[in-house]
Amino acid sequence: WHNHLEQTKRFDLYKSLLRILIEQKLAYVCQCGRKQLKDGIYPGHCLEANHPLPEFFFSEVKNRNSKLSQHNFSIRFNLKKAKKFNLGQKAYQVIDVFRGCIKQVPETQCGDFVIWDKMDCPTYHFATVVDDILDAYPLIVRGEDLLESSGRQMALRRLMTSHQSILRFLQSFNSNLRKEEPIYAHHPLLVTKDSSVKLSKTLKSSPLQKIRLDRKDLWNEIKPFLADSKFGSKFGDENEEFLGSAA
């Protein structure tokens, strides 16, 4: 919370790591669109196609103020190739504070998933796993709407912390990175009155920090949910300083 990270400043790092994954056949170029998905699962049309990357792809300069580049392809993670870094098992296991041990099989959930999109940006899964490893977080707190993607992120994480070339690359940025797997806490969401849509910036919902300062009555109703007794008993006392930081 005290160290502010801008992912745009790590763009070159993400792309250099992507190059390694492609060179190691752990990721590949995909020219498919959403229409090729079958019930939300990618069937692997481009896995053996060996589509080439344009020569300029790794030489492009990314400027946060410039217009986004757009390509007719994305880069997908090769789950089959990465499986050996999960001891040959298809299921990936994560430990969650609220739900205990969770096992997920990305191959049956979504298939090979996109780690670099057509707008020439790393996807959430890719960037956040790199950040979590480099910044050595022992506990990762996020909304329960992201629970379904935990197996995908664990697949990436186990590869990155087990593949020696990739691990050495990451250690060149932080020799004290975290190889050990973190504990997760996928917390319940604050939703609209009809409980159908989560509060978000898109809905122009008030930030928790503003509610805490301006709406004491509402904050007192929300606070018990933020400091769930099971979560608090494991990771610290329920107090205003902790909740204020979390907000």
pLDDT tens digits for the chain (247 residues)? 445 577 888 999 999 999 999 999 999 999 998 888 999 999 999 999 999 998 888 876 555 444 456 788 999 999 999 998 988 788 999 999 999 999 999 999 999 999 999 999 999 999 999 999 999 989 999 889 899 999 999 999 999 999 999 999 999 999 999 999 999 999 887 777 766 677 677 767 777 777 778 878 877 876 776 655 444 444 344 444 433 434 3
Phi and psi for 129 in degrees, rounded to 5? -65, -45
Beta strand ranges found along the chain (DSSP E): 27-30, 74-77, 92-96, 100-104, 114-116, 139-143, 183-187
Q: Report if pTM > 0.85.
A: no
CA 83 to chain centre: 19
